[in-house]
């Protein structure tokens, strides 16, 4: 059954109230867990204890769930992506960047280790890892200590550029179906891993790069196996226009038509739905389709805000009944900062300080993510839940004065105040140090990987430009 650990007299506990179906604060409370399971949350635990943690200077909260991350590539874009966009593609730099900046496998391994470290250090205990498979991926994710939802990417087509204003596609449906088969085999391998913390998510990569047949097959396999499915959809104006040209309807409406929407599906971003002001589209159906079908949305505010784009608006999605989780689609892989951005940008989009509250974004980063993944045992502090627990230093200067712990953490302190992180009852971060990975060594390897990537840009870019021409430094060299 394992050892019992009790966090005694915690200054604050973010507990789950099952009757109200929401997180609530408790003061001077105990949290006990035995092995990988929480056994008690409340006042005065009286059971046998093998280890006691003094909680008087701690805020105890559930581990965060990162519903959408690309750990292998995004860390290498640091210093590149922050101000890179293409005006002729409605500001998105996605297509140009993914064509020109190509990280090799050693660089992707280093990037994954850096990103996993960032996640753990900021209180993430579960992640949906959307990656192109590489050798050793499963073992590295397991070694990190994260609760990993492995999502190997596959598609029927690849993006192709010959100009800065038209996105083209190179189709190979046979290769797409073979990659789909390979992804299922890799998921099965992950689910057999002795760590017991890995499971799979089907990941047809983008709604515009997958054939209808591949998507229908993915839905059928996912439902038969009881696995979630995630896909990028409604992530750019360019994609919206491509889908309208192909099918005469919005990406969301086409997804509904082919059976892609539903409680099993997580849409990455779902930003450019039919009511978005940049589209001037005639219908107002997409939000109701998302809510009515039970489809989840993985909201990642930071990358789009850097382009000058907003989800319009998060409060409307929530009030319509759409289940929303949060992801880190860009460096830093810090879900606390994404919560801050999600709340602040939602208020900006709505012009209303009350549009989205701290409780809303914390719910999305915990329970919203768990619901999207079909899990009722993570994202909450309550008996019977997995012992995925984050201990926050209540005395950290950035947390004080401490009137409201979540506000202090999300709007000011972020990862600086995260002290210890447990996954399945095992401590993975101790006194702010990630115990499972060598972040510094991975950063050294990533430095070299980025250098190789930058040297190869002119060979990959459709115009033969250098990295400096595509993404100049923020200041000129003197």
> Angle 286-209-461 (CA atoms, 0-180°, nearest 5)?
120
Question: Is residue 423 predicted with pLDDT exceeding 90?
Answer: yes
Question: In the prediction, which pLDDT does 225 show?
Answer: 95
Secondary structure, 3-state, 262-284: CCCEEEEECCCCCCCCCCCCCCC
* Average pLDDT across the chain, whole number: 97
Residue 109 has which token pair?
A: 């391994």
Domain 64-372 has CATH 3.20.20.140: yes
SS3 letters across 358-402: HHHHHHHHHHHHHHHCCCCCCCCCCCCCECCEEEEECCCHHHCCC
pLDDT digits (tens, 9 = 90+) for 344-385: 999 999 999 999 999 999 999 999 999 999 999 999 999 999
Write the DSSP symbol of residue 462: T
Looking at residue 2, what is its pLDDT? 84
Q: Bridge partners of 462?
A: none
Name the CATH superfamily, with its identifier, for domain 4-62+382-432: Urease, subunit C, domain 1 (2.30.40.10)
Calculate what percentage of the chain has a pLDDT beyond 90. 100
What is the value of pTM for the model shown? 0.98
Q: How far apart are CA 335 and CA 126, in angstroms?
A: 11
Tell me the pLDDT tens digit for each residue of 131-166. 999 999 999 999 999 999 999 999 999 999 999 999
Domain boundaries, the chain: 4-62+382-432, 64-372
In whole angstroms, how far apart are CA 6 and each of 314, 411, 421, 434?
A: 37, 29, 14, 22
Q: What is the mean pLDDT of residues 323-327?
A: 98
Two structure tokens written together for 387: 């012992």
In tens, the pLDDT along 255-276 reads 999 999 999 999 999 999 999 9
What would the pLDDT profile of 384-405 be if each residue is shown by its tens digit?
Answer: 999 999 999 999 999 999 999 9
The answer, yes or no, to whether residue 1 has pLDDT greater than 80, is no
Say what the pLDDT of residue 401 is: 97
CA end-to-end span of the chain: 64
d(CA 469, CA 458): 10
Find residue 265's DSSP bridge partners. Answer: 229
Proportion of the chain above pLDDT 70, given as a percent:
100
């Amino acid at each position: 059954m394992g050892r019992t650990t009790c966090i005694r007299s915690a200054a604050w506990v973010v507990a789950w109230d099952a009757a109200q179906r929401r997180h609530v604060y408790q003061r001077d409370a105990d949290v006990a867990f035995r092995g990988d399971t929480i056994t008690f949350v409340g006042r005065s635990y009286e059971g046998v204890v093998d280890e006691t943690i003094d909680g008087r200077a701690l805020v105890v909260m559930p581990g965060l769930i990162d519903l959408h991350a690309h750990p292998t590539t995004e860390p290498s874009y640091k210093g590149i992506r922050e101000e890179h966009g293409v005006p002729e593609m409605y500001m998105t730099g996605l297509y140009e960047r993914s064509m020109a900046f190509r990280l090799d496998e050693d660089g992707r391994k280093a990037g994954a280790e850096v990103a996993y470290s960032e996640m753990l250090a900021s209180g993430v205990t579960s992640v949906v890892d959307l990656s192109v498979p590489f050798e050793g991926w499963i073992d590295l994710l397991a070694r990190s200590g994260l609760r990993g939802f492995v999502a190997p990417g596959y598609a029927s087509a690849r993006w192709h550029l010959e100009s800065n204003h038209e996105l083209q596609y190179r189709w190979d449906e046979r290769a797409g179906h073979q990659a789909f088969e390979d992804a299922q085999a890799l998921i099965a391998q992950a689910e057999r891993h002795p760590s017991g913390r890995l499971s799979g998510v089907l990941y047809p990569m983008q709604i515009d790069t997958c054939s209808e047949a591949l998507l229908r097959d993915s839905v059928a396999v996912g439902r038969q196996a009881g696995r979630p499915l995630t896909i990028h959809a409604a992530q750019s104006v360019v994609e919206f226009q491509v889908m309208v040209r192909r099918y005469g309807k919005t990406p969301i409406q086409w997804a509904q038509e082919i059976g892609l929407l539903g409680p099993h599906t997580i849409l990455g971003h779902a930003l450019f739905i039919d009511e978005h002001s940049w589209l001037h589209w005639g219908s107002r159906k997409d939000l109701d389709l998302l809510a009515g079908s039970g489809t989840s949305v993985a909201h990642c505010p930071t990358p789009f805000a850097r382009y000058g784009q907003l989800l319009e608006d998060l409060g409307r999605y929530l009030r319509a009944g759409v289940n929303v989780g949060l992801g880190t689609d860009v460096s830093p892989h810090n879900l606390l900062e994404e919560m801050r951005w999600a709340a602040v940008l939602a208020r900006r989009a709505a012009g209303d300080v009350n549009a989205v509250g701290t409780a809303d974004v914390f719910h999305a980063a915990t329970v919203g993510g768990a619901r999207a993944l079909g899990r009722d045992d993570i994202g909450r502090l309550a008996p019977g839940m997995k012992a995925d627990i984050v201990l926050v230093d209540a005395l950290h200067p950035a947390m004080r004065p401490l009137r409201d712990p979540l506000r202090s953490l999300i709007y000011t302190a972020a990862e600086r105040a995260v002290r210890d992180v447990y996954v399945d009852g095992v401590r993975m971060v101790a006194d702010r140090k990630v115990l499972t990975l060598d972040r510094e060594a991975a950063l050294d390897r990533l430095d070299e990987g980025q250098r190789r990537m930058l040297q190869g840009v002119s060979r990959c870019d459709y115009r033969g430009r250098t990295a400096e021409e595509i993404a100049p430094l923020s200041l000129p060299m003197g």
